[in-house]
Amino acid sequence: MTKLLPKKLSISLTLIIGLFVSSADAQRSFLKRIEPDQVNLQYAGSIGFISGGIGYNLFNEKAALSFHYGYVPKSKGGWMSIFTAKFEYKPFCINVKDKLIIHPINPVFFPSYTSGDNFDYQFSTTKYREGYYFWSSALRLHLGAGTEVKILTNKNAAFKSVSVYAEANTNDLYAISWFENRTSTPFYAMFKLGYGLRLNF
């Protein structure tokens, strides 16, 4: 019996160490998979006065999916927090030697959710009859397009490239409002502009 104990103990220790090592490998593999391909900082553009986010390249960098948090300070009409998931498609690019890549037009779609005292997923039925306001004050669906200039860095840099971009977008509520007032409101009035900086890894 006493001879069996050290053998059982060594087997148990071996199993524990094996599980720990495989768990550490799994954690490293998981962290590698969720490591973002880009980080983003944006001014305005319907997702906050200032917003930041991370993104992932898709389809050999023909598209990107990014997640953003933006805020509007009290002095600008807030305090509001805005959460956004953005899908951007990059149909073609123009290469300028080995220094620049220009994406002339990148269609973009994104839902955004605004959290704040005056925003709710749906209007209260105790204050308004059902269906009186058919939209959500918090959830918006946006459609737009952007232009991006990507500046390539050297191989020793911490990131592969730096992008500067401008983006115009509108949302469901702006579009409906413009359509109902189209005789007196110019078409461009329903679009909002944003400008951003992106580091690509």
Q: What is the pLDDT of residues 11-43, one digit of tens each?
A: 777 777 777 766 666 666 666 778 999 999 999
Dump strand ranges (E) for the chain: 38-44, 50-58, 63-72, 80-89, 94-96, 100-115, 139-152, 161-171, 192-200
Answer yes or no: is pLDDT of 6 > 80.
no
Does domain 36-200 sit in CATH 2.60.120.10?
A: no
Top pLDDT among 30 and 192 is at 192
Q: What is the mean pLDDT of the chain?
A: 86
Question: In whole angstroms, what separates CA 36 from the centre of its chain?
Answer: 11
The Cα–Cα gap between 79 and 117 comes to 9
Return the pLDDT at 87.
Answer: 98
Q: What is the pLDDT averaged over residues 103-117?
A: 92
pLDDT of residue 79: 86
pTM: 0.80
Please tell me the predicted confidence (pLDDT) of residue 104.
97
Mean pLDDT of 102-122: 86
Tell me what percent of the residues of the chain surpass a pLDDT of 90: 62
In angstroms, rounded to a whole number, what is the distance separating the alpha carbons of residues 21 and 27?
10
More confident site: 27 or 169: 169
Check whether 89 has a pLDDT greater than 80. Answer: yes
Cα R_g (the chain), whole angstroms = 25
Distances (CA, A) of 44 to 50, 68, 94, 164, 198: 6, 12, 27, 14, 15
Buried (b) or exposed (e) across 2-20, using 16+ Cβ within 10 A? Answer: eeeeeeeeeeeeeeeeeee
Confidence of residue 132 (pLDDT cuts 50, 70, 90): very low
pLDDT at 127 over 60: no
Q: Which pair of tokens denotes residue 190?
A: 């329903």
Please say if the pLDDT value at position 192 is more than 70: yes
Least confident of 41-50, 109-118, 147-156, 167-176: 109-118
